[in-house]
Structure 1
Amino acid sequence: MLIEVIAIRAEDVEAAAEGGADRIELVTGIAEGGLTPSLGLVEAAVKASTLPVQVMVRPHSQSFCYSDADTRVMLRDIEAIKGAGAAGIVVGMLTTDRILDRLFLERVLRAAEGLDVTFHRAFDEIDDQLKALEQLAEYPSVSRVLTAGGLKPALQSAERIRLLREAGDRLGISILGGYGLNAGNIKDFAGMTGVHEVHFGSGVRRNGSFMERLLPSSIVEIRSILNERN
């Protein structure tokens, strides 16, 4: 089971590595659902450990629909992220009809050539998620979809996530389960969904808060719980 952890500071990357995480999602503006971090933070995160760093590319939190001006900003950010040595990017784009914006996605993927790509929880606002997953699976550089199966915490949508994971297994795209996961519920979630990758944010921090430090011991505990299932 692969464990991904949200980092908002370079120190978080070091703590995640100490705890045995497998991958970092680097963001800023976590109160707004995660925004593009500064280039300085990206560079610091990449240098902080050998963990692969996936960088959020999201210029604002108003929606997942992007204007031409937004598009230019995002493409420039991707160029800078690539130059900083990050392993990949985390993106998501929808049309006003809440379906996958394939034209913009394809522009992003061309700009991100050579980077690993995660499609983020914009996916959870799509009505026909199975169709969207099939569409995303057509792009080899999109390795995974981060999803809670909808807008509720992931454990409450475990059956939907299981169906998506089964479809993803057939299509060759991974489902990264996340939102509201912690050491107290990960055993049930993993058993109910069968996902191969899990994503943690406040659930691996002191007092379950992004205002507090990331705890390597929480990641160790989660790893132990997941290993007991095998």
Structure 2
Amino acid sequence: MILEVIATTLTDAAKAEAGGADRIELATALAEGGLTPSWGLVERTALTVSIPIQVMIRPHSRSFVYDVADVLTMLADIRAVRAIRERVRDEAKKRRAADGGEPPAFGIALGCLTRAGRIDETVLQRLLEEAGDLDVTFHRAFDETADLEEAYKTLSRYPGVRRVLTSGGKPSAPDSAVQLRRLVELGADSHVQIMAGGGLTPETLPVFLRDTGVREVHVGKAARGARGLADPVLSGRVRALKRAMGETRTPP
């Protein structure tokens, strides 16, 4: 079971790791669905935490349909992530002699659609070529596709895509348990994992995971205080989510 927590600050990232998160998604502007964070935040986070980091690659919140200028910006952002990874690796080599620490794994979260609501394969191919060996998540642009199962089959043709973040096409993942179970079954032999996100809480997780077969979970509000995304990440909330994931049982 993998728990990914959204972080918008260095403190968020450190709190998520302290609470037992398995991976961090770094983003800004969560009220707009998440945009590309500053490179200072990416670098400092990578020098501070040891768990994997996924960096949001999203140049604006207007839509997931991108023009030439948008794509050039995304390509430049991906290059920046790779450059930061190399700097962090170099720094880690210097540190290893003293503390034996290893740098975190790096990845990116991206998504691109056509106006017809399909995966924009032309743009996706260019982004994946630039990403190289970075771990790639196709984010919740997936939920805006015209046909989720067809979109999943399309993404499964790309070895560079490692997972899809989805709420099953609805705002809340628990409301899409049947659809998410279908996607998990569809991808039983695929390299593309289904990561569920949206509306999940420590209270709903055990039944949700049992009913869907999902093995990766993505949370934002559930890892924060009463004001949701307006509050910082709380280690105690992350620990509660991890405990809930551990409570999942396969029905007899």
TM-score, with length taken from structure 1? 0.97
In 1: Cα distance, 2:137 partner to 2:228 partner = 24
Shift of 1:186: 1.0
In 2: Cα distance, 1:3 partner to 1:87 partner = 16
SS in 2 for 1:83: helix
Shift of 1:134: 1.1
| Equivalent pair of 1:19/1:217 in contact (CA under 8 Å) | yes
Deviations 1:3-37 (A, max 9, x none): 00000001111001101100011100111000001
Equivalent residue, structure 2, for 1:165: 184
Number of aligned residue pairs: give it: 230
Equivalent residue, structure 1, for 2:116: 97
Q: Aligned Cα RMSD in Å?
A: 1.1
Equivalent residue, structure 2, for 1:156: 175
**Percent of pairs with identical residues:** 44
Q: Which one of 231, 245, 248 corresponds to residue 212 of structure 1? A: 231
In 1: Cα distance, 2:243 partner to 2:53 partner = 23
Larger Rg: 2
The aligned runs of 1:107-146 (5 Å cut-off) are 107-146=126-165
In 2: Cα distance, 1:200 partner to 1:216 partner = 13
Shift of 1:216: 1.0
Shift of 1:208: 4.8
Which letter does structure 1 place at the counterpart of 2:237? S
Runs (4 or more) in structure 1 with deviation over 2 Å come to none
Equivalent residue, structure 2, for 1:58: 58
SS in 2 for 1:15: helix
| Equivalent pair of 2:10/2:44 in contact (CA under 8 Å) | yes
Moved more, 202-211 or 90-99: 202-211
Structure 1: which 5+ runs fail to align?
none
In 2: Cα distance, 1:82 partner to 1:178 partner = 26
Equivalent residue, structure 2, for 1:36: 36
In 2: Cα distance, 1:94 partner to 1:225 partner = 34
TM-score, with length taken from structure 2? 0.89
Structure 2: which 5+ runs fail to align?
86-104
Residue 81, structure 1, aligned to residue 105, structure 2:
no
SS in 2 for 1:16: helix
Shift of 1:172: 2.5
